[in-house]
Structure 1
Amino acid sequence: MEDFILFLLVGFVAQAVDGALGMAYGAISSTTLLAFGVPPAHASAAVHAAEVFTTAASGSSHLYHHNIDWRLFSRLAPFGILGGCAGAYVLTGMDAEVMKPMVTAYLALVGGWLVVRSFRKFPSKPVATRIVAPLGATGGFLDAAGGGGWGPIVTTGLLGFGGTPRYVIGTVNASEFLITFSVSVTFVLALVTGRWADAELARHFAAVAGLVAGGVFAAPLAGLFVKRLTERRLLRLVGILIILVAGWQTVEQLALV
């Protein structure tokens, strides 16, 4: 019960931030799970299982408010799906003790990027077609392999290349549902086929349920939750939190090598 309540709060905060900024749900949730000793593959699978529900709620909201650029969506989602499936396949085939330092270091870098982004304004200009495919594939791969990163990589990348914030955030959130669903299916296939022999997701059911409940509850309340905080302050707080937790986990793991 304690795990459920803890991750309900984690899911609520993560989705509130993600709903307002288009990023950070996976990074916050994965970093917390890793800090509690959950193996990288289990953490990524748990987060993506929860995100199937939270991204559906978030994407539906953006659809209702007409925030989706369907041309961008059609170019972004397919490559995100391919990258995500590849990342999940790689993650489930590697030893957890080898992967954990790399995953936590990657999340620390994501946190650093959020802090850097909080000090920078991005100009508006059309996003070149050649940018979308590799950005989507990279974001999908790192999101699955690291348990988070689709929003920080793809959203900030598209904004950095001049995308309109409203449509970038709406499109990235809507496409994330398809990427998350595909990654979850890949984890299930890895489990069924025996590739992922050490998968004991049942042990983390309370964490997944808490992330789902907190995330779904926060999805329509994100605007209220962040009303008193500026975007820059939120990015800095989230980035610093991820850096501290993931950085500590990286140092702890490397000390054991």
Structure 2
Amino acid sequence: MQDFLLFFAVGILAQLIDGALGMAYGVISSTVLLSFGVSPAAASASVHAAELFTTAASGTAHVYNRNIDWKLFWRLVPFGIVGGVLGTYVLTSFDGAAMRPFVAAYLTCIGVYLIIRSFTHRPSKPVRAAVVPPLAAAGGFLDAAGGGGWGPIVTTGLLGAGGQPRYVIGTVNTAEFLVTLSVSLAFLFSLLTGHWEEADDLSTHALAVAGLIAGGVIAAPFAGYIVRILSTDTLLRLVGSLICILGITQVWGILSGS
């Protein structure tokens, strides 16, 4: 029950930030799971299982509020799915202990990137169509392989390329549901075919996943309120700092052998 309540709180925090910024649910949740000793593949699978519910709730809200650029949506989804499935295959092909340092370092880098991003304001310019496919593929791959990254890579990339915030955040959040679904199905396929040898780790974290789902679904409608309270830059700095602290702690523990 203690695990459920802890990850319920994590799910609320992560979804409030994700809904407000278009990023960070997977990064925060994965970083916390890894800090509890969960293997990278199990952490990514757990987070994506939870995100099936939270992205559905968030996407529905964005569709209702007409925050979707459907042309951009259909350009993002195919490449995001391909990248996500490839990332799942890579993550489930290696031993969890061997992958942990790389995943921890990647998440720490994302934390640093978010902090830097909060101090950087790029001038607006039209988003070139050629930017979308590689951005979506990279976001899908890193999201699956690292347990988070779709929002930090795709949302910030599109905003940096001149995209309008309202439609970028709404479209990326909504597209994430289909990318998450494809990644979850890829994990399931790996499990059923025996490709994923460490899948037994999943059953021991069911309460944590349930907490992430419950907290995320409850928090999804309230992201707009958080935006009114705290500025985007403040939220980016807070979540970036949290991820850096947790990520550096993991890297230090790995290097020290603890």
2: CA distance, partners of 1:125 / 1:58? 27
- The 3-state SS of whatever aligns with 2:53 is helix
2: CA distance, partners of 1:205 / 1:152? 26
- For structure 1, the residue ranges without an aligned partner over 5 or more in a row are none
1: CA distance, partners of 2:158 / 2:80? 14
Q: Deviations over 1:68-100 (max 9, x none)?
A: 111111111100000000001110110111100
Structure-to-structure mapping, 1:79-118, within 5 angstroms: 79-118=79-118
2: CA distance, partners of 1:226 / 1:133? 29
Q: Structure 1 residues 191-200 or 118-127, which shifts more?
A: 118-127
- The 3-state SS of whatever aligns with 1:227 is helix
Q: Deviations over 1:111-163 (max 9, x none)?
A: 01110111112322221111100000000000000000100000000011111
Per the normalisation by structure 1, the TM-score is 0.98
* Partner amino acid, structure 1, of 2:48: H
2: CA distance, partners of 1:198 / 1:152? 28
- The 3-state SS of whatever aligns with 2:125 is coil
* Partner amino acid, structure 2, of 1:7: F
- For structure 2, the residue ranges without an aligned partner over 5 or more in a row are none
Q: CA deviation at 1:226?
A: 4.3
Per the normalisation by structure 2, the TM-score is 0.98
Identity %: 62
Q: Which residue of 1 aligns with 2:214?
A: 213
1:108–1:242 Cα contact (<8 Å) kept: yes
2: CA distance, partners of 1:170 / 1:123? 21
Q: Which residue of 2 aligns with 1:159?
A: 159
Q: Which residue of 2 aligns with 1:121?
A: 121
* Shift >3 Å, 4+ stretches: none
Structure-to-structure mapping, 1:44-193, within 5 angstroms: 44-193=44-193
Q: How many residues align?
A: 257
1:30–1:148 Cα contact (<8 Å) kept: yes
**1:253/1:13 CA distance change after superposition, 3 Å:** same
1: CA distance, partners of 2:232 / 2:126? 23
Q: Which residue of 2 aligns with 1:244?
A: 245
- The 3-state SS of whatever aligns with 2:123 is coil
Q: Structure 1 residues 243-252 or 226-235, which shifts more?
A: 226-235
* Partner amino acid, structure 2, of 1:218: A
1:16–1:226 Cα contact (<8 Å) kept: no
1: CA distance, partners of 2:116 / 2:35? 24
1:11–1:214 Cα contact (<8 Å) kept: yes
2: CA distance, partners of 1:54 / 1:252? 31
* Partner amino acid, structure 2, of 1:82: V
1:84–1:179 Cα contact (<8 Å) kept: yes
Q: Does 1:42 align with 2:38?
A: no
- The 3-state SS of whatever aligns with 2:94 is coil
Q: CA deviation at 1:198?
A: 1.6
2: CA distance, partners of 1:222 / 1:169? 12
* Partner amino acid, structure 2, of 1:219: A
Q: Structure 1 residues 138-147 or 115-124, which shifts more?
A: 115-124
1:57–1:219 Cα contact (<8 Å) kept: yes
Q: Which residue of 2 aligns with 1:14?
A: 14
